[in-house]
Amino acid sequence: MKRTIRVAARDTSTAGRLARAMLLKMPGRNSKLSLQEKLILGGLPRPFYAYPAVRASELAVRLGHKEVTWIEFGVASGNGLIALEQIKAVVEQHLPITVRIVGFDMGSGLPKPIDYRDLSYHWQGGFYEMDIPRLKARLNSASLMLGPVAETLPAYAEHPPFDAPIGMISFDLDYYSSTAEAFKIFDLPEAAILPRIMCYMDDIIGTTECYSDFTGERLAIREFNERNDSRKLSPCYDFELFGYERWQEKIMIYHDFGHARYTEYVGDADLESHIPLRD
C-alpha cells in the first residue's frame, strides 16, 4: 500500500488524481494514513498552506519544541485562517505539537499604494475589506492583529513567541511596500523563530498582474536577499514526493545561516546513514 501511495502521489494524470481521491476516501483508510501520506495525497486543505505548515511543525518537533507559530500576512475575508485551523487540527493529531495561528491584516482592506512598486494598476486601496465580526465568530483559536503592518508587527514583536517559535509564514499582502515591512518579522530574536521558516509567497506568479522582479513581492524578496549575507529567502526544492503543481513554485524557505541551531541535525540517522549494497 505504501508503494501505491507513493506512485499515486506523483502521478499528475487524471488517473493519478482519481487514485489519490480513492485512497483518501477508502473506508477506514484515512485514519490509518500518516501525516506525510495525507500531505502528499492532497488530503489536507489548501496544499500551498498545508505543505509549509506541516514541514514547519515537523522541524519544531525535531528541535524539541512543544509549540510552533504559523502566521498569515494578508487575511482578507479569512478563508486562509480557517484553512489553517483545519490543518492545525490534523497536525496536532499526528505530532506532539501545539500550533498557534496569527493573522495580520488592515481589516479595512488594502491601504493606498505608495508608488508604482505596489502595482497600483492592478490593486487599489480598499480592496479585500474584512467582515471582522463575522470572521471572529468563525475562528476557533487563531488571533488577529488588525491595522497597518508597520504598527501591528512592532506591537507583536514586543512579546516574541519564545515558547512557540515561528515556523511558517504566508505572505499575501499584494504590495511591495507592505511585504517589505512584513519581512521585518525575520528580525525577531532567533529564539522566537526556527532556523528555517517555510514561506508561501502568494504574489510572485499570477495571471494578469504583470509581475516583475522590479515591483511587488518579487522586488521585496530580491532586496531582502541583497541586503543580507547570512539570511536568505530561497525557492524550495523539496517536492520529489509530489507530482508537479503550480503552487510549489510559490513555496520559499527563509534560511538563517547564522542561527545557533541552523546546523543541528534533524534527520533520521537510522534511515539515512546507511545505503545497503544491492545483491
What is the set of domains in the chain, with CATH numbers?
1-43 (no CATH), 45-262 (3.40.50.150)
C-alpha grid cell for residue 248?
A: 510549489
Contacts for 39-42: CB closer than 8 Å, 24+ residues apart: 40/5, 40/6, 40/9, 40/241, 40/242, 41/5, 41/8, 41/9
Q: List the Cα angle 101/102/108 in 5-degree steps.
A: 140
Task: Determine the Cα–Cα distance for residues 258 and 279; give it in Å rounded to an integer.
Answer: 43
The 143-146 sheet, strands edge to edge: 143-146, 98-105, 67-73, 166-171, 193-201, 251-256, 231-235
Task: Determine the Cα–Cα distance for residues 51 and 253; give it in Å rounded to an integer.
Answer: 12
Q: Summarize pLDDT for 99-121 with one digit per residue, the tens.
A: 999 999 999 999 999 999 999 99
pLDDT grade for 272, boundaries at 50, 70 and 90: low
Q: In whole numbers, what is the pLDDT of the chain averaged over residues?
A: 94
Task: Determine the Cα–Cα distance for residues 65 and 96; give it in Å rounded to an integer.
Answer: 9
Q: What is the pLDDT of residue 21?
A: 87
Q: How far is CA 201 from CA 18, 74, 207, 251, 276, in A?
A: 29, 11, 15, 6, 39
Task: Return the percentage of the chain with pLDDT > 70, whole number.
Answer: 97
pLDDT grade for 221, boundaries at 50, 70 and 90: very high
What is the Cα Rg of the chain in Å? 19
Q: What is the pLDDT of residue 141?
A: 95
Q: Summarize pLDDT for 42-79 with one digit per residue, the tens.
A: 999 999 999 999 999 999 999 999 999 999 999 999 99
Q: How far is CA 169 from CA 20, 71, 189, 230, 274, in A?
A: 27, 5, 16, 19, 34
Q: Summarize pLDDT for 132-167 with one digit per residue, the tens.
A: 999 999 999 999 999 999 999 999 999 999 999 999
Does 271 have pLDDT greater than 70? no
pTM: 0.94
Does 204 have pLDDT greater than 90? yes
Q: What is the pLDDT of residue 134?
A: 97
What is the mean predicted confidence (pLDDT) over 27-51?
Answer: 89
Q: What is the pLDDT of residue 93?
A: 96
Question: Do 33 and 6 meet the contact criterion of CB atoms below 8 Å apart?
Answer: no
pLDDT grade for 268, boundaries at 50, 70 and 90: confident
Residues of the chain by 3-state class (helix, strand, coil), percent to 5 = 45, 15, 40
Q: Summarize pLDDT for 165-190 with one digit per residue, the tens.
A: 999 999 999 999 999 999 999 999 99
